Amino acid sequence: MHRAKPNWRRRCNLILYMNEGWDPKWGGALQLWDSHMQTRVESIDCLLNRAVLFNTPNALHGFPDPLACPENKSRKSLQWYYYTVDEAADAMPVATTYYARPADSPIKHLLVKLDNFALRAYAWAKRRLGLSDALISRVMSMLPSRKGR
């Protein structure tokens, strides 16, 4: 869904990679999975000027593996989203659902389920209590950072 337009639904993604001199051994490939999250269908390296266009609804995709690039390199991409208006009367914002991969540990599977629960609780609180992303960002910025620990 669109952040400001709750009746807009994302229909497709276009990703353009801008990684000059990227070595595929460093990771960062886009993984596309089947609809049951059982089989990786495709792995697309994030090479310079490579573009990937795909339908978004129910497209299980991501780059879940940690990057192994040198410190002076980073994975760069531009992403564009195409939205359409969803005229369904009961169209409510839906949080993204994340999935663990079949080979991930039981702990990872549990953490992904907890994350999905938290996202749905947050989406509910935004709808029912009028919380905003800006308010939550301000609250989160007051919490101590865990970076570098």
The domain in which residue 65 lies consists of 1-94
The pLDDT of residue 89: 43
Report how many domains make up the chain. Answer: 2
Answer yes or no: are the C-beta atoms of 72 and 86 closer than 8 Å: no
Q: Are residues 47 and 73 in the same domain?
A: yes
CATH number of 46's domain = 2.60.120.620
Answer yes or no: are the C-beta atoms of 18 and 78 closer than 8 Å: yes
Q: Are residues 39 and 64 in the same domain?
A: yes
DSSP secondary structure string for all residues of the chain? --SS-TTEEEEEEEEEE--TT--GGG--PEEEE-TTSSSEEEEE---TT-EEEEE-TT-EEE--SPP---TT----EEEEEEEEE---TT-----------TTS-HHHHHHHHHHHHHHHHHHHHHHHH---HHHHHHHHHHSPP-TT-
Question: In the block, which residue shows the tokens 């629960």?
Answer: 117
Q: Is residue 148 part of a domain?
A: no
Q: Is residue 125 part of a domain?
A: yes
Q: How confident is the model at residue 110 (pLDDT cuts 50, 70, 90)?
A: very high
Q: Are residues 104 and 88 in the same domain?
A: no
Mean pLDDT of 121-127: 82
Q: Are residues 36 and 65 in the same domain?
A: yes
Q: How confident is the model at residue 135 (pLDDT cuts 50, 70, 90)?
A: confident
The pLDDT of residue 143: 79
Q: Is residue 149 part of a domain?
A: no
Q: Are residues 37 and 109 in the same domain?
A: no
Mean pLDDT of 39-61: 92
Q: Are residues 78 and 29 in the same domain?
A: yes
Q: Are residues 71 and 17 in the same domain?
A: yes
Q: Model pTM?
A: 0.75
Those residues whose C-beta lies under 8 Å from the C-beta of residue 127, and which sit 6 or more positions away, are: 92, 93
Domain end marker among 94, 116, 135: 94
Bridging pattern class, strands 8-17 and 77-85:
antiparallel
Task: Quote the mean pLDDT of the chain.
Answer: 86
Q: Are residues 67 and 90 in the same domain?
A: yes
Q: Are residues 79 and 120 in the same domain?
A: no
The tokens describing 49, both together, are: 């000027």
Q: How confident is the model at residue 106 (pLDDT cuts 50, 70, 90)?
A: very high
Q: Are residues 90 and 55 in the same domain?
A: yes
| Top-confidence residue, 122 or 99 | 99
Summarised one tens digit per residue, pLDDT across range 13-27 is 999 999 999 999 999
Q: Are residues 113 and 71 in the same domain?
A: no
